Structure 1
């Protein structure tokens, strides 16, 4: 066979999707690689026939109390705390309420694979394992363990309440208000964590546990040049490679090649998000530098989050607890019916397209491209024991 004597082309010194930018000292440095665009997310929808009336009433009254038709009253860049006075666009439409389990960046082919993966999962086994975890975690509380054993089994559908009010990223400078699901059986959270981890292990949900990119092994001076970095990192034989790594590599190498653990799952339903407020004031520094990025609207939610609700006329009325432990109740005792893979970006629903008036009530909705029901009959029929 003839051997080509053509010179080997030089490799690019930087990724194709990066370009040099000038630093303050006049030197150039490459831009960091951009993260892939988020296209879909795995979630549990919260709006169904049992919850819609409760959520609609409580959210409408909350919005009426804290919405301002003339824009937000600001003091030193912060919105007044007595009534938030938020623009109507900051309040999330009823049809968008859900619990996010993880976000994904999927091509068309990967979306088909993720949808098939969702359909293949043995939800019955996950429910059973969640039941065991819930019982074990509450074993120290005999009364609660008794409640779990008497009122729920792994086949019982999830029934939750949506309660409380929390702020992100900080109470004193919030951009998001959200409510929390309350499951008296304790099964929902471990079920969601296991479901999310299944999607992470399959490579669909992005693992947000590690903030920094791992250093390539080729740049690690402690690895002999004859060692194959690909052999260490290849996902095809991950278990055997982990054993080789732990035996033959030093602790530094093991540390930088270890997959980060997923961050703790925060189950929450977003009620307010100022990222959707149009016409936000631009950061003055950015304006002077010719940049067009907008500064996100923040508000002080400390009083709102900490206050006990003495106004019993609100639909977000208090539970029958002492005044010091009162909480927002957005909806009580409604089922979680399904698991969905949804497209990013809620779609507006046109009232004229629905004669029943449901579109007008929901406002917007995320498009579900794959779905599994959580009804016991459906779970059992897919994976008979």
Structure 2
């Protein structure tokens, strides 16, 4: 029986979080990581411009009718589904570091900052409603299709058709961005086999891991960002822009929030 291939993900619903206070705190985290974990892959440290909350991932086209339909749906959200938009401003901060599976701290791929603040419950309700709305419209990939296959990271946190909640988190370390190809890699080194040949050698894509135990304990109560106003909901294109300021994601459309 042939395997059903997952849809190619191209965009995501996002709440951007970049701020001056976050810049300072993540710079401090960066210095600590590189000091505490010699040899840590620097590409795994996420640039401040990329820090966000993912509300859903999308399988659209790059510049075609599905992308236009999805952005139009976002721009019309206040008119088509006014009950989704919060009545009053939302504020959220980031505090402490966590992993999805705390039993694997010695073999980590992704570490994220937790949301906190008086409005977390309201933010969670907003995120769930937005994600369900775009699932129903056929733009956000249902978790029952994607199956949260990257539960140790990569922001695949879309709720399924059941009322599972969006896993609100802001990824700060992700070794997917430090993956590399190596020849003769054995299966116990991790990574997925890749049909890539150079000469007669076969190569395997390796995703490095690291021991996050000490890091999580040290920063468990650290405030990385004081509660700030959540001012927009955006559809972003996957893949960072390569620019001098550290990049960020291209925003295809956004709406302001109260």
How high is the TM-score relative to the length of structure 1? 0.54
Following TM superposition, by how much is the alpha carbon of 1:85 offset from its aligned partner in structure 2, in angstroms? 4.1
8 Å CA contact 1:158–1:183 kept in 2: the answer is no
User: Structure 1 pair 34/209, CA: closer, same or farther in 2 (3 Å)?
Assistant: closer
Following TM superposition, by how much is the alpha carbon of 1:261 offset from its aligned partner in structure 2, in angstroms? 2.4
8 Å CA contact 2:11–2:58 kept in 1: the answer is yes
Following TM superposition, by how much is the alpha carbon of 1:263 offset from its aligned partner in structure 2, in angstroms? 4.4
Equivalent residue for 2:231? 337
Following TM superposition, by how much is the alpha carbon of 1:294 offset from its aligned partner in structure 2, in angstroms? 1.8
8 Å CA contact 1:168–1:175 kept in 2: the answer is no
Query: What CA distance in whole angstroms lies between the structure 2 residues aligned with 1:84 and 1:263?
Result: 38
8 Å CA contact 1:44–1:339 kept in 2: the answer is yes
Query: What CA distance in whole angstroms lies between the structure 1 residues aligned with 2:51 and 2:94?
Result: 11
Query: What CA distance in whole angstroms lies between the structure 2 residues aligned with 1:347 and 1:302?
Result: 32
Following TM superposition, by how much is the alpha carbon of 1:165 offset from its aligned partner in structure 2, in angstroms? 0.1
Structure 2 residue 19 is matched with structure 1 residue 55 = no
Tell me how many residue pairs correspond in the alignment. 228
> Which structure has more helix as a fraction of its residues?
1
Equivalent residue for 2:129? 194
Which residues of 2 match residues 45-84 of structure 1 at below 5 A?
45-47=16-18, 52-67=19-34, 82-83=36-37
Rg bigger for which structure? 1
8 Å CA contact 1:209–1:262 kept in 2: the answer is no
Could you say what the CA RMSD is over the residues aligned between the two structures, in angstroms? 2.5
Equivalent residue for 1:159? 91
SS of residue in 2 equivalent to 1:171: helix
Q: Which of 200, 206, 218 lines up with 1:295 in the alignment?
A: 206
8 Å CA contact 2:179–2:206 kept in 1: the answer is no
Equivalent residue for 2:151? none
Equivalent residue for 1:272? 173
Following TM superposition, by how much is the alpha carbon of 1:200 offset from its aligned partner in structure 2, in angstroms? 0.4
SS of residue in 2 equivalent to 1:125: coil
Structure 2's unaligned 5+ residue stretches are 148-159, 188-192, 195-200
Which residues of 2 match residues 136-285 of structure 1 at below 5 A?
154-155=87-88, 157-169=89-101, 170-185=104-119, 186-209=121-144, 260-261=161-162, 263-279=164-180, 283-285=185-187
Query: What CA distance in whole angstroms lies between the structure 2 residues aligned with 1:126 and 1:97?
Result: 23
Q: Which of 36, 41, 50 lines up with 1:96 in the alignment?
A: 50
Query: What CA distance in whole angstroms lies between the structure 2 residues aligned with 1:176 and 1:211?
Result: 18
8 Å CA contact 1:167–1:301 kept in 2: the answer is no
Q: Deviations over 1:290-342 (max 9, x none)?
A: 642222111111222134x5xxxxxxxxxxxxxxxx60210102111101101
8 Å CA contact 1:45–1:97 kept in 2: the answer is yes
Following TM superposition, by how much is the alpha carbon of 1:277 offset from its aligned partner in structure 2, in angstroms? 1.1
SS of residue in 2 equivalent to 1:294: strand
Query: What CA distance in whole angstroms lies between the structure 2 residues aligned with 1:209 and 1:298?
Result: 27
8 Å CA contact 1:207–1:262 kept in 2: the answer is no
Equivalent residue for 1:109? 65
Following TM superposition, by how much is the alpha carbon of 1:95 offset from its aligned partner in structure 2, in angstroms? 0.6
Structure 1's unaligned 5+ residue stretches are 1-29, 69-81, 129-153, 213-258, 310-325, 351-359, 376-385
8 Å CA contact 1:162–1:179 kept in 2: the answer is yes
> Which structure has more strand as a fraction of its residues?
2
Which of structures 1 and 2 has the larger relative contact order (alpha carbons within 8 angstroms, sep 6+)?
A: 2
Query: What CA distance in whole angstroms lies between the structure 2 residues aligned with 1:271 and 1:306?
Result: 16
Deviates more, 1:290-299 or 1:366-375: 290-299
